[in-house]
Amino acid sequence: MPTVVLMDVSLSMTRPVSLDGIEEFQRKNLAVHGLNMLFEHMASNYRLEFTALMAFSSLWELLVPFTRDYNALQEALSNLEDYDKTCLELALQGVSSVVQQEWGNGCPCQVVLVTDGSLGIGKGSLRHSLQTLKHRGDDKKFPLPYPFPTKMFILCIANAEELQMTDAMENLEELLRLSGGDGQIFTVDGPLCMKSVQAMFGMLIDRAYSPFHAVLHCGNLSSDVQVFPRPEPVVVDEEVEPIPRAVSTEVDEVGTGATDELEEEPSASQMAGKSPNFCVLLHGSLKVEGMVALVQLGPEWFGMLYSQADSKKKSNLMMSLFEPGSDPLPWLGKISHLGPVSEAAENPYGEDDSKSPFPVQPQVKRSYAQNVTVWIKASGLQTDVQKILRNARKLPDKTQTFYKELNRLRKAALAFGFWELLKGVAELLERECTMLPDSAHPDAAFQLSHAAHQLKLASSGDSQYAAFDHNIVPMHTDFSS
């Protein structure tokens, strides 16, 4: 999950902090110290995540666009300059556009706001922004909540007591609530000093930047893995009221399936082999065979492992998570009902791998895969009637098609209670009968009048002739003698 660090560089951040009277620091120095610690942590444990650095006062500036280069981020921190007053709303707007430009609005993002808790005065202050929240036009909406899923972490280079003296804490809580509520406000515990700020950033790291270690099992083979980005708990909302689900750290490989029927699904996470070698072996074989491995991440939560290459040289083991549930990909059927091929009487993949038991076909075909009859539009009805007439003129060659189309129309007319149509088509067939050319086969006349008669009987509603499952069969004629 990418992170935007939003650093307050307003004048108030330069307020001095006395440390036992020995050395003088500015709040900014403490903040930079804390952020350096965060960046160092990420460089060693989270190096595949993207981070951007923004500074703000009354204006905002993107100092480092999204990068995995943590040196660049630390370098930018060391060159921070001091500016004027705090204007958070503009900066939050800036975060929104920077994130959406880079990742669109589907990618979850973490915002780390580092401030001293003096949130400006008058117009442009957070207080003012929040007070005017409800009196805004559509063009001047407050940027929160963001269109992308957000985790907002607010780190105050101030202690809670200090913030509660003003309404700063209240305003920050309101801000967190507006962002969607997923996040936390951190304050310095005790007097401001390097140590206490370190402790605060340490809490942020534990909360949001702890690496995700897991064990991948395949029978007795196993490997420790680290997953990037960290799989986040998912809230399921189908028939079931939202229940959050978290990925369990014991990942079970269930078995393998052929790749050609799978797409990458919801979120993809990357696994980097950390200790033994099973991952490398698995990756190599998946790549060579063009297969994917099914993994179980928790109760009724599955995903797949496969080799992903972004260039010819580099490839790695990727894990895609499916939506939690017992049958995340309908064309695989229920995962719990996937069994080993060895149990099957005949290898469903064929002896030469030419077949596949997938995709699993649904029991009932979708409407577009069956020949459904819809007469909502007049053209639908006209087409069906014309089809019958076209075939009627080619009797007896088209006897089968003629009766097939006739029965389809008959069924629909009976279901819709549209008896008038049955009578109408019967009349049309009788007319066709009278218009048959002399050259016509004698069977044509017999079939047409037979069909017309049967339709009329059906339109009477007589249960003997109007049964839905009954089909009009061609009249048996014999002109061979």
Partner 1 sequence: MKMFSVAHKTVFVVDHCPYMAESSRQQVECDVLTKSRAQGVIPLAPVSKSLWTCAVECSMEYCRILFDVYPKDKLVNYIVSDSEFHILNTWRREDQSTHELMSALAAVGPPNPREDPECCSILHGLVAAVEALCKITELQHEKRTALMDTAERVANRGRIICLTNAKSDTHVRMLEDCIQETISEQNKLAAGSDRLMAIQQCDLVLVHIYPQGEETLVSDRPKKEISPLLTSEVHSVRAGRHLASKLNILVQQHFDLASTTITNIPMKEEQHANTSANYDVELLHHRDAHIEFFKSGDLHMAGTSTRENGVKETMTLKWCTPRTNSIELHYCTGAYRISPTDVNSRPSSCLTNFLLNGRSVLLEQPRKSGSKVISHMLSSHGGEIFLHVLNSNRSTLEDPPSISEGCGGRVTDYRITDFGEFMRDNRLTPVAESSHDPSGKLPVERAKGQLERYTRYWPMIISQTTIFNMQAVVPLANLIVKELLTEEDLLTCQKTIYNLVDMERKSDPLPISTVGSRGKGPKRDEQYRIMWNELETLVKTHAGATDRHQRVLDCIIACRSKPPEEEERKKRGRKREDREDRTEKNGSKEAEDKSWQESERLKGLLEKEDQESEVIKDSPDSPEPLIKKPRLISEDVQPPERAKGPATLLSMWTNRITVANSRKHQEFFGRASSVNSKFELYQHLKEENGIDTHENGKAAR
- According to CB under 8 A, which residues from 269 to 308 bind partner 1? 269-270, 272-286, 288-289, 291, 293-294, 308
Residue nearer to partner 1 on the CB measure, 374 or 473? 374
Residue 375 contacts partner 1 per CB under 8 A: yes
Task: Give per-residue burial for 25-39: e unless 16+ CB within 10 Å, then b.
Answer: bbbbbbbbbbbbbbb
Which residues are within 8 A (CB) of 315 and not within 5 positions of it... i.e. 6 or more apart? 283, 287, 307, 308, 309
Query: Under rule CB under 8 A, which residues in 325-354 are in contact with partner 1?
Result: 329-344, 348-349, 353
Q: What CA–CA distance (Å, rounded) separates 481 from 478? A: 7
Q: b/e string for 279-297 if b means 16 or more Cβ within 10 A?
A: beebbeebeeeebbbbbbb
Of positions 202, 230, 418, 474, contacts partner 1 by CB under 8 A? 418
What is the nearest approach in angstroms of partner 1 to the Cβ of residue 381? 6
Closest CA to 374 of 403, 421, 412: 412
Contact segment (CB under 8 A) with partner 1 among 22-30, 165-173, 191-199, 263-271 equals: 263-271
- In angstroms, what is the minimal distance from the CB of 332 to partner 1? 7
Residues 208-237 that bind partner 1 (CB under 8 A): 218-221, 229
Q: Which helix (H) or strand (E) holds 44?
A: helix 27-45
Q: Which of 80, 425, 455, 472 binds partner 1 (CB under 8 A)?
A: 425
Determine the Cα–Cα distance for residues 277 and 283; give it in Å rounded to an integer.
10
Query: For partner 1, which is the closer residue by CB, 11 or 466?
Result: 466
Q: Terminal CA-to-CA distance of the chain, rounded, Å?
A: 83
Q: Give the nearer residue to partner 1 in terms of CB position, either 44 or 285.
A: 285
What is the closest distance, in whole angstroms, from the C-beta atom of residue 401 to partner 1 in the complex?
Answer: 17
362 prior amide bond cis, ω within 30: no
Asked whether position 148 contacts partner 1 by CB under 8 A, the answer is yes
Least distance to partner 1, CB of residue 209, Å: 15
Interface positions, 156-215, toward partner 1 (CB under 8 A) = none
Does residue 386 touch partner 1 according to CB under 8 A? yes
Would you count residue 22 as binding partner 1 (CB under 8 A)?
no
CA distance 111 to 150: 7
Distance CA 291, CA 307 (A): 8
Distance CA 95, CA 102 (A): 11
Which one, of 125, 188, 189, 184, lies nearest residue 157 by Cα?
188
C-beta closer to partner 1: residue 164 or 336: 336
Site string for partner 1, 85-114 (x = CB under 8 A): ---------------x-xxxxxx-------
Q: Give the per-residue contact string, 392-411, with partner 1 (x = CB under 8 A; - = no).
A: -------------------x
> Total residues contacting partner 1 (rule CB under 8 A)?
137
